[in-house]
Amino acid sequence: MASACALHILVKTEKEAKKILVELKKGKDFGQLAKKHSQCPSGKKGGDLGEFRRGQMLKAFDDVVFKRELLKVHGPVKTKFGFHLIKTLYRN
């Protein structure tokens, strides 16, 4: 079964996610922004979700992690939890 490791930043609004995306494009550190803004407990670890298998996350999240380009920030991706910015570190 496929597994991957990803970082994410979870916020309540698309507007907030887009603001953070601008910061990332300016070269700000993903981990620092996750600690500052993420609503997810993983924010304390710089947004690190660790390794997980396909199907463990919501479909919209999985689709990004398992199908989109690695090491690039994707989003905002909407789920029932809010809006995510997702960076996949690796998958196998």
Ordered by start, the domain boundaries in the chain are 3-91
- Prediction pTM value: 0.96
3-91 CATH, one of 3.10.50.40, 2.102.10.10, 3.40.50.1370, 3.30.465.10: 3.10.50.40
CA proximity to 74, closest of 62, 86, 89: 86
Query: How confident is the model over 39-61, as a mean pLDDT?
Result: 97
Per-residue model confidence (pLDDT) at position 1: 83
The DSSP code sequence of 65-83 is HHHSPTTSEEEEEEETTEE
Q: Residue 45: which pLDDT band, with cuts at 50, 70 and 90?
A: very high
Q: Residue 25: which pLDDT band, with cuts at 50, 70 and 90?
A: very high
